[in-house]
Amino acid sequence: MSSFITLKKQDSDFQNYLWGKFSSTERALPMTTLNLESPEETVTFEIVKKSDIKRPSAAITFFALIKFQNLFLILLPLFYVLAKNFVDNRFRDPFTCVIASAAMLFLFAAFNIRNDVNDHISGYDRVNIPPRGQYAKPIKEGWITASQASNISWILTLIAMVLSFPVMLRQPEEARVIAISAVLIIAGRLLSKNSYKNQHWGEVIFFILAGPGVVSGYQVALGAGVDTEGLAFGILWAWGIQFLVHLNNFSHILTSSQAGIKNTMTNAGFDKAKKILIFWWAAFIGLWIAYHYFYASIFWSYLTTIVLVFWSVPTFMKITEIQSPVGSELGDLKKVGYRNFLLMCGLIVIEFYWYLGNKNDWFI
C-alpha cells in the first residue's frame, strides 16, 4: 500500500526524497511537479515499498540505465575510423584503439546515467513524461534511486579514467584530446545547469564532444592523428545527433516551456521550432553532400545522397503537417525522425563496408 507526501524545495527533506536517501526500505516516486526551477517548486511523491515495485533483472535495469540501445552513437564513429584508416593504410595501433574504445564505452555509459540523474534532479524528466510504450526510466520507475545511479556513474567514470592512462602512454597526443574534452565537460556542467539539454552553451559543447571529439579520440588512439576528413565526418555526425536532440526537445516543447526549461526549441517557440527542424535536417543533407564531394567516390556520393533525400521526405512532410504542440503527433514525428537517422547510419555502414571489401578483394 502506498502513501503520498508533498514537499517544497525549501523543506529540509526535499533533496533526500529526490535522491532516494530518505529510507532504505521505501522509494519516493515523483508524481507531479509545480513551479519548476523556482523557490516555490513543489513535488508530490508517491511513497512505495521497495518490495512492492516490480523490477526487472539487474542486467535489464543496468542496460536501461546506460541506454544500451544508443551505444551505436559511439560505435558507428568507431567503425568509421577503423574502416577509413584501414583503407588509407593508417591502421597503426589497433591495440591502443581497443583500449580507448573500451574507455569510451564506459564513459558513454557513465554520461548517460549522469544525464538521467541530472534530468531527474533538475526536473526535466519529472515534467516531460514519455508516452506509454516508450523506454522506461529506471530512476523514475523506482528501480534504482538517483543516489545509487550517481554512484554507478562515478564508478564507470573512474574505470574509463584508469583505461585512459595506457592510451596516453602509448599515444601522448591523446592526453591533449582528453584534456580538451574534460574542460568542455566541466564547462558544460557549469554553463548549462548540469544538463546538455538546457541552454545554447550546453548544446554547443555537446555538439563538439559527440562528433569531432569522439572521432578525434579514436583517430589519435589508432595512431593516425587528427585529419580534416575525420573532423569533417565528426561535424557531420554531431549535426545528425543534434537533430535527434532537437527532435526530443520538440516532442516536449509544451511541457518544457510551461516548466521554464530553456533550449533551442523552447526559446524559438512552436512555429519557429518547426522551421529550425526543417533547416537542421536540410543542412545535414548539405553537409552529407559536401563530405561525399571531397572524400567519397562519385558512385557512392550520388547513390547515398539520392537515397538519403528520398528517405528524408516523410520527415519533412511530418514536420510541416504538425499544427499543434498538443497530441500524439509530436511523438510520431520523433519516431519518424529517429527512423530517418537510423537509415542514414545504415548508408554509412554499407558504404564503408564496400570500401573495406574493395580493399580486401571481397567482391571478386
Q: What is the pLDDT of residues 97-152, one digit of tens each?
A: 899 999 999 999 999 999 889 888 888 888 877 654 466 789 988 999 999 999 99
- The letter for the amino acid at 148 is Q
Distance CA 87, CA 104 (A): 23
Asked if residue 291 lies in contact with residue 327, where contact means CB atoms within 8 angstroms, the answer is no
pLDDT at 182: 83
How many other CB atoms are found less than 10 A from the CB of residue 253? 21
pLDDT at 122: 83
Distance CA 271, CA 323 (A): 9
Q: What is the mean pLDDT of residues 278-291?
A: 97
Domain locations in the chain as residue ranges = 3-52, 58-283
Name the pTM for this structure: 0.90
Q: Looking at the predicted structure, is the pLDDT value of residue 193 above 70?
A: no
Distance CA 74, CA 234 (A): 11
pLDDT at 194: 47
Max mean pLDDT range (50-59, 130-139, 151-160, 220-229): 151-160
pLDDT at 359: 78
Distance CA 51, CA 49 (A): 5
Q: What is the pLDDT of residues 26-35, one digit of tens each?
A: 999 998 888 8
- Report the b/e string of 14-44 with b at 16+ CB within 10 A: beebbbbebeeebbbbbeebeebbeeebbbe
Q: Looking at the predicted structure, is the pLDDT value of residue 198 above 80?
A: no
pLDDT at 115: 87
Helix (H) or strand (E) holding 239: helix 228-251
